[in-house]
Structure 1
Amino acid sequence: MSSNIYLPHILLSIPRHPVTALGLPLALGILSASSTKSVVRGQWYRNLRAPPGRPPRQVFPIVWPLLYLSMGYASHLAVKAFDSSLSSSVKSSLTLGLALYYTQLSLNFLWSPLFFNSKQVGLALIDSALLAGTSFYMTKLFHAPTNSRTTVFLLPYCAWLTFATYLNGGIWWLNRGTNDFSRGD
């Protein structure tokens, strides 16, 4: 695999230290979700029809921080593999994987404002599908160069993203014809 992707030094430096590797996704997640609490307690969210299997809203603030920490640690392992590799093909694969890491962080950051603040459930669904696909491909790229250590941390995230995309898609589908689907409280 040949890749001409360039990552600025700062994007390689952040995951080199475990604290910043863990802290970046956690901080972005907290920032992105900061205004969702009032929305999930509001009329709009409570009136949404959801597909089977939607967990209680109290599950999300437990699961997401754990997933953010896991993805952060996976980025740390990936950059350590990048730093220790002498193979240009491995470095190329890891560079693309790290570029996808930052891409999926951005998509992840956008999802809550799209869904909860803007109530753009369809756009959030597109974001969620792109996020899941990007994360699965990133996981694949990190797998071999890290001797599958990143996969242990990223597979729960990929599984949760698949479930979250199902929920988002189900909410979009079940509510697409309602009059106040996109209205706020």
Structure 2
Amino acid sequence: MKMKALLTTSALVAATAAVGTAASDPKGKYYANLKKPDWNPPDEVFPVVWTTLYTDIALTTGMTLADLWQAGEIMGSNKEAKRFLTATVANLAINGGWSWAFFRAKQPALSAVWAGVLAASSADLTRRVFKVNRARGVVLAPYAAWTAFATALSCAMWKLNERAADHRAA
């Protein structure tokens, strides 16, 4: 049961990483020309953070899913496990889609809103994990924190580049 759950969430996370990576172009002209706030982390930080967070997500959600599947077998209902898996899939879909909104659509406003939705979804996912196992919820909390930070960063880039576009148009 635990192995099946871990394989399920690992496959979902790997697919998310592949989708996001396919859209990302941190060395491209668009990203290079964006105005960024002074507190923007160095580009080298992002792959390290995301690799760590994706591992965290796969493990914490996999172990939580296994617990919920096991509880469902005992109680005769897998409703909670299905809800949790749906929330996990939704979160990962939003996660993978952000790179497409930011790098491919080149829409800072859209990507800022998208990041906010991701942060809310990540906080909800962390809450769901915490509800099943507090220690795991604490371990997943950096994901919610990072996506909140990413929202602030996306909003700052939106505002900085909106102003730059306004000045160019004037």
**TM exceeds 0.5?**
yes
Task: State how far apart, in whole Å, the 2-side matches of 1:20 and 1:94 are.
Answer: 13
Q: TM-score, normalised by structure 2?
A: 0.83
Among 130, 136, 161, the alignment partner of 1:150 is 136
TM-superposed CA distance for 1:92, in Å, is 4.6
- Equivalent pairs counted in the alignment come to 164
User: Could you say if the C-alpha distance between residues 20 and 100 of structure 1 is closer, same or farther in structure 2, counting changes exceeding 3 Å?
Assistant: closer
Q: Secondary structure at the match of 1:176?
A: helix
Whether 1:130 aligns to 2:122 is: no
Where structure 1 has 5 or more consecutive residues not aligned to the other structure, the ranges are 1-12, 181-185
User: Could you say if the C-alpha distance between residues 164 and 156 of structure 1 is closer, same or farther in structure 2, counting changes exceeding 3 Å?
Assistant: same
Q: TM-score, normalised by structure 1?
A: 0.77
Task: State how far apart, in whole Å, the 2-side matches of 1:14 and 1:170 are.
Answer: 41
The alignment's C-alpha RMSD in Å is 2.5
TM-superposed CA distance for 1:15, in Å, is 7.7
TM-superposed CA distance for 1:129, in Å, is 0.6
Amino acid in structure 2 at the alignment position of 1:33: T
Task: State how far apart, in whole Å, the 2-side matches of 1:95 and 1:15 are.
Answer: 17
Report if the CA contact (8 A) 2:6-2:63 is conserved.
Answer: no
User: Which structure: greater helix fraction?
Assistant: 2
Where structure 2 has 5 or more consecutive residues not aligned to the other structure, the ranges are none
**Cα distance per residue 1:41-76 (max 9 Å; x no partner):** 233212212223211111111111111111111121
Task: State how far apart, in whole Å, the 1-side matches of 2:121 and 2:23 are.
Answer: 25
Q: Name the residue aligned to 2:6.
A: 18
Report if the CA contact (8 A) 1:77-1:149 is conserved.
Answer: no
Amino acid in structure 2 at the alignment position of 1:23: A
Segments ≥4 residues shifted beyond 4 Å: 86-89, 91-94
